[in-house]
């Protein structure tokens, strides 16, 4: 072995160590990125669940309002028919 072979071997070993260190750091970064992504998915899932709960509550409110409007419309129809027929509308019992 001469001096140039020895220098080449040292450079190859340094390159191998640098590559090994780079692979370790890359693996650590990927692990961190994966953990952060899981946290974001959990947060999105929680936000979507909250939005769904709010939408369902609003749906119930709208269904109740629709039922109330339908009942009021029914009463109005009865009153209009009675007025057109010259009759007094029957009063509903509460």
The structure's pTM equals 0.47
> What pLDDT does residue 23 have?
94
* pLDDT tens track for 7-27: 888 899 999 999 999 999 999
> What pLDDT does residue 33 have?
80
* pLDDT tens track for 32-43: 887 777 777 778
From the CB of residue 82, how many other CB atoms can be counted at a distance below 10 Å?
13
> What pLDDT does residue 65 have?
94
Cα 68 from Cα 78, distance rounded (Å): 16
Nearest to 78 by CA among 88, 64, 93, 68: 88
Query: What are the C-alpha distances in Å from 15 to residues 8, 28, 33?
Result: 10, 20, 26
Written as six digits, the tokens of 70 are: 């339908």
């Amino acid at each position: 072995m001469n001096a140039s072979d020895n220098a080449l071997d040292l450079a190859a070993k340094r390159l191998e160590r640098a590559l090994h260190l780079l692979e370790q750091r890359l693996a650590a970064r990927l692990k961190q990125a994966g953990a952060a992504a899981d946290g974001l998915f959990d947060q999105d899932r929680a936000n979507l669940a909250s939005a769904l709960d709010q939408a369902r509550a609003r749906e119930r409110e709208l269904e109740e309002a629709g039922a109330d409007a339908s009942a009021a419309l029914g009463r109005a129809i009865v009153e209009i028919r009675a007025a057109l027929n010259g009759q007094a509308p029957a009063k509903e019992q509460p």
